[in-house]
Amino acid sequence: MIETLLAGLDAALRIDTFVWISGGLLLGMLMGSLPGFTTSMGMSVLVPISFLVGDPLIGIPFLIGVYKGGIYGGSVPAILISMPGTGASIATVFDGHELTKKGQPRKALEMGLYASVISDLFSDVFTLVMIIPVAAIVLGFGPPEIASVMFLSLVIIAVTSMGPVVKGLLMLCLGVWFGFVGADPFSGMPRYTFGTNELYDGFHLIPMLIGLFALPEIFNAVKEGDISGSSVGRFVGERLRFDELKKSLRTICRSTVIGTGVGLVPGLGQPIAAMMGYIAAKNASKHPENFGKGELDGVAGAEAANNAVNGPTMVPLLTLGIPGDAVTALLLGAFMMQGLRPGPTLLETNGEIVFAILIAMVIANFLFLVLGYISIPLFARVVTIKRSLLIPVTIMLAFSGTYLARSNPFDIVTLIGFGLVGIAARSAKFDVAPMVMGFILGRELEYTFGQTLALAGTDWVRFALTERIGMTAVVLATPIVGVLLGVRMSKFRQRALKGEEA
Amino acid sequence: MSTGDFRPVIWSRFPCDFRGIRLSAILFLVGIVLFRLSVVHAQYPEKPLTLVTPFAAGGSSDLNARVFTSFLSDYLGQAVLIKLVPGQAGQKGTLEAARSAPDGYTLLFTDNYRDQLHKYTFRNDAYDTNRDFVPVARVNYGQIGIIVRAGGIYETWAQLEADARARPGEISMSHSGLWVALFVPMLQLMKDLDLSFKMVPYRGGGPAKAALLAGDADVSMAFPATVVADVEAGLIRVLATAGSERILEGVPSFTEIGLPPTTGYIHRVVMAPTGIAEDRLRVLREAFAQMQGEEAYHRVMTQLGENTEYLDGVDYEAVRIQQSSDYQELAQSLLDQ
């Protein structure tokens, strides 16, 4: 294996490979930062380029660059204009935009970049070194285990929400309910669609996010009046200090581990990782009451987790030929078009090229750091644009991005609907974050729970006690974890409530 | 006021000849007229075409479309742009194409399930695929295979069938979602052979295969090309493949195990809205026929694990009629249950 690795290193150190990776990263960042233009759409448009260049060491690293850049790029509009560019930056918006409002957009963007690069780098190195040993355990994590972890996550969100518990729970349940709308995944029967075809697929995540987070911001800005001359900030704010990054290193490491784990399981994806990374950061924090009010750790927790997913998704893809989502399915196609057939024999037959691609993926992170570093001051300048110009552009991006995602006019209705929900929630002091979390995790829980029931059949006692001990253990631990975290959080919650009264 | 005075102020600084302006205006108009005329007589297609695909980004149909459109453009002389309109089990995209003008600039990329089966499984009054679309070409097809773990207890289809009869509804079968590529042949198999499996859905073919490898499911289906590496590595065994001929050595065909020869085929087809002018349809069909001579196209598709078994739209129409009646029977038998 060492020889193959060295041969791969030799093959990967090519200037044209780096040029193409950089191109991919730039394109990815651009596409990711355009709301509605998701990473999978961008990559799907660029797949023909990757096979037309004809060289696997150019075509595939190029697409990987788009992938990495896209996942990071989504955080830029999330931080600056409260509009997640892709689903992956869903949790970045919670604290990222608050930092912008506090006049610290540059700090938030830099934290997003460093957290992304550090976690991506470590998860890629992990993938490179551990791809063979880890492949065996990937399959041990099936629907029952995912369902139990989703259940645990929902309980953690419920007990750790700040502010009045009832409000948090209500929003969480509402989010879970929104996730039920649409065709039942097991029978195809429509639920809560009121007889319309438009709701058959349920609510789409992108218009929902833009509606909940961006529209209320726009509404507030307009409501404040006199927007002609002012801008969000006169300056792009301070840069991230080294000690601030150091303080968040624990969070970044934790989220890297979470993201890596999520990436190894086919089909979970970045939005779930980002959410779990964010919740974990909040739970471990000494100041959980600051989350959602512009906490740097929140940005770090979310951004590190979503980028850490990228590398490990290669493990099931390359060793078993299993793509978990649209992006990895496109990469599978790209590999096959280059004559490389992902699966158990790939590392034996084409080990050199595979390791070269994985090494290129590791090196891509350094280019990612440089390109991100150069682009941040430019991106951050957005906040100095006059509101009279910025707001119309934001509105345009909100609507065009919503339409772009699926070319579906009904998504515009979804956008406006959730925009109204967001505005109403804000004026009644309800936090919409638990709602989004409930929406994403609840759908996953329902699906995997349904699969678990189908797998268990009638003899579910035997199933739970002999076949799926992992699932049973997590389910049994859930109330204990819930109570422990709930007790720990209650004092912070009181502190937060006092803070609000004061 | 004489015409001479009617000059914008700024012109007065630059003496100019009015006859010249008049002449150029006439020439300009003549130019426009000629241009319009040339447009009318221009060869179709004179602007990029849009291929509506009712599939999500990243699926095998999306990849197929990306590959063939990038070659087809050379033969049409215009770019072919892909517009992804996923949703409602393919109905959104199909409806969009059905409602577009039949001018040959909007086409639909679909498969036989979306084209002929879904009308029986999803309520829909907005369009009728047989009335609203004409086939341009079948790009290729896929033949499904029944797969099990190589280390498992089933070595032949006969063993699996015997066990399924002994334990109806207990053997679990992973599939990639309702009413698509893996699900439909499984239903047909259960109906025609009077078997019953426990159907467990997964999000796509990848996770369905993972479930089989992990031991969560006992049986699954897959296009043989997607499991070649697993078969070589001794992880997966193919028990039977679709069609009347054997495509893998020693593996029975669906006809041999008692299924009709049409079961388990997915046909990827390009359609045009009904009403398209005959000459434009001919241009499109010829472009597809000519593309079959492109060596690079065959190479990339083969590497992708797909065949390039092209069929002209006229010939595909016959296949379509047969499917329609088969699927109606299948859907009816499910409703009767």
User: If chain A, 502 residues long, is cut into consecutive pieces of 10 residues, what is the mean pLDDT of each piece?
Assistant: 86 91 94 87 88 89 94 94 92 94 92 96 95 86 93 89 83 95 85 87 91 92 70 76 94 97 90 94 91 94 96 92 87 89 88 92 95 91 84 91 84 96 94 93 93 89 90 95 89 73 52
φ, ψ (nearest 5 deg) of residue B159 = -65, -45
Place of tokens 């492109």: B294
Find the residue in A nearest to B206 (Cα): A322
Tell me the C-alpha distance between A489 and A497, whole Å: 12
- Contact assignment for A188 to B121 by CB distance below 8 Å: yes
Find the residue in B nearest to A47 (Cα): B66
Q: Tell me the sheet residues that pair with B49.
A: B80
Closest by CA to A204, choosing from A415, A433, A398, is: A415
Find the residue in B nearest to A39 (Cα): B57
- Contact assignment for B203 to A267 by CB distance below 8 Å: yes
What DSSP element (H or E) covers A407?
A: none
Longest dimension (CA), chain A: 69
* CA of B83 vs chain A CAs: smallest distance (Å): 8
Residue B282 to residues A162, B73, B290: CA-CA distances in angstroms? 66, 16, 12
Closest by CA to B110, choosing from B98, B122, B123, B124, is: B98
Asked if B151 reaches chain A (Cβ–Cβ under 8 Å), the answer is no
- Contact assignment for A267 to B228 by CB distance below 8 Å: no
What DSSP element (H or E) covers B109?
A: strand B106-111
Closest by CA to B107, choosing from B86, B126, B132, is: B132
pLDDT score for A252: 97
- Contact assignment for A408 to B87 by CB distance below 8 Å: yes
Chosen for mutation from A184, A332, A462, A466 (greatest number of chain B CBs closer than 10 Å) is A332
Choose the closest CB to A326 out of B58, B179, B200.
B58
Whether B336 has a pLDDT exceeding 90, the answer reads: no
Contact A34, B56 (CB under 8 A): no
Percentage of chain B exceeding pLDDT 70: 89
Find the residue in A nearest to B226 (Cα): A321
Asked if B70 reaches chain A (Cβ–Cβ under 8 Å), the answer is yes
Contact A111, A75 (CB under 8 A): no
In chain A, which residues have their Cβ closer than 8 Å to the Cβ of B60?
329, 333
Q: Take residue B41 and report the two structure tokens written for it.
A: 């007589």
Q: At a CB cut-off of 8 Å and minimum separation 6, what does A191 contact?
A: A180, A181, A182, A183, A184
Q: Report the relative pairing of strands B311-312 and B219-222 from DSSP bridges.
A: unpaired
Contact A382, A34 (CB under 8 A): no
Contact A55, A422 (CB under 8 A): no
Tell me the C-alpha distance between B141 and B311, whole Å: 10
The 3-state DSSP class for residue B164 equals: helix
Burial of B307 (0-12, 13-18, 19+ CB in 10 A): middle
Asked if B86 reaches chain A (Cβ–Cβ under 8 Å), the answer is yes
Residue A221 to residues A76, A225, A391: CA-CA distances in angstroms? 19, 7, 8
Burial of A426 (0-12, 13-18, 19+ CB in 10 A): middle
- The answer to which of A99-113, B45-59, B69-83 has the lowest mean pLDDT is B45-59
Closest by CA to A204, choosing from A398, A442, A414, A31, is: A414
pLDDT per residue as tens digits for the range B166-177: 999 999 999 988
Q: Which residues 169-228 of chain B have a CB within 8 Å of chain A?
A: 170, 172, 177-179, 198-204, 206-207, 209-211, 213-217, 226-228
Find the residue in B nearest to A138 (Cα): B214
- Contact assignment for B206 to A346 by CB distance below 8 Å: no
For range B237-248, the mean pLDDT: 94
Place of tokens 């398209």: B276
Whether B41 has a pLDDT exceeding 70, the answer reads: no
* CA of B154 vs chain A CAs: smallest distance (Å): 19
- How many CB pairs below 8 Å do chains A and B form together? 160
Choose the closest CB to A341 out of B210, B214, B229.
B229
Tell me the C-alpha distance between B81 and B63, whole Å: 13
The 3-state DSSP class for residue B237 equals: strand
Closest by CA to A149, choosing from A495, A501, A473, is: A473
Q: Take residue B203 and report the two structure tokens written for it.
A: 């999000």
Chosen for mutation from A63, A200, A335, A411 (greatest number of chain B CBs closer than 10 Å) is A200
Chosen for mutation from B50, B80, B88, B123 (greatest number of chain A CBs closer than 10 Å) is B88
Asked if B83 reaches chain A (Cβ–Cβ under 8 Å), the answer is yes
Q: Take residue A451 and report the two structure tokens written for it.
A: 């699969």
Choose the closest CB to B83 out of A47, A333, A407.
A407
- Contact assignment for A326 to B56 by CB distance below 8 Å: yes
pLDDT score for B1: 42
- Contact assignment for B229 to A326 by CB distance below 8 Å: no
Tell me the C-alpha distance between B82 and B63, whole Å: 11
Contact A322, B206 (CB under 8 A): yes
Contact A259, A71 (CB under 8 A): no
Contact B107, B142 (CB under 8 A): no
Chosen for mutation from A63, A345, A353, A452 (greatest number of chain B CBs closer than 10 Å) is A345
Contact B185, B264 (CB under 8 A): yes
Q: Take residue B260 and report the two structure tokens written for it.
A: 């009709």
Find the residue in A nearest to B84 (Cα): A406
Tell me the C-alpha distance between A113 and A69, whole Å: 10
Q: Half-sphere exposure of A226 toward its Cβ, with a 13 Å CA cutoff?
A: 1
Q: Take residue A312 and report the two structure tokens written for it.
A: 């490990």
Q: At a CB cut-off of 8 Å and minimum separation 6, what does A492 contact?
A: A162, A287, A288, A289
What DSSP element (H or E) covers A482?
A: helix A469-501
Tell me the C-alpha distance between B278 and B68, whole Å: 23
DSSP state of B105: S
Backbone CA torsion sign across B201, B205, B211, B217:
positive
Q: Take residue B136 and report the two structure tokens written for it.
A: 């341009």
- Contact assignment for A455 to B172 by CB distance below 8 Å: yes
Q: Take residue B135 and report the two structure tokens written for it.
A: 């086939």
Confidence of residue B100 (pLDDT cuts 50, 70, 90): very high
- Contact assignment for B305 to A324 by CB distance below 8 Å: no
Q: What is the mean pLDDT of chain B?
A: 87
The 3-state DSSP class for residue B265 equals: strand
Confidence of residue B8 (pLDDT cuts 50, 70, 90): very low
Burial of A364 (0-12, 13-18, 19+ CB in 10 A): buried
pLDDT score for B9: 47
In chain A, which residues have their Cβ closer than 8 Å to the Cβ of B94?
none
Contact A295, A97 (CB under 8 A): no
ipTM: 0.86
pLDDT score for B3: 45
* CA of B302 vs chain A CAs: smallest distance (Å): 8
Contact A47, A84 (CB under 8 A): no
pLDDT score for A61: 94
pLDDT score for B275: 95
pLDDT score for B121: 82
Find the residue in B nearest to A338 (Cα): B303
Q: Which residues 229-258 of chain B have a CB within 8 Å of chain A?
A: 229-230, 232-233, 235
* CA of A385 vs chain B CAs: smallest distance (Å): 34
Contact A465, A206 (CB under 8 A): no
Choose the closest CB to B198 out of A47, A138, A457.
A457
Q: At a CB cut-off of 8 Å and minimum separation 6, what does A32 contact?
A: A38, A39, A42, A69, A70, A71, A72, A73, A74, A76, A85, A86, A89
Q: At a CB cut-off of 8 Å and minimum separation 6, what does A224 contact?
A: none
Tell me the C-alpha distance between B40 and A257, whole Å: 63
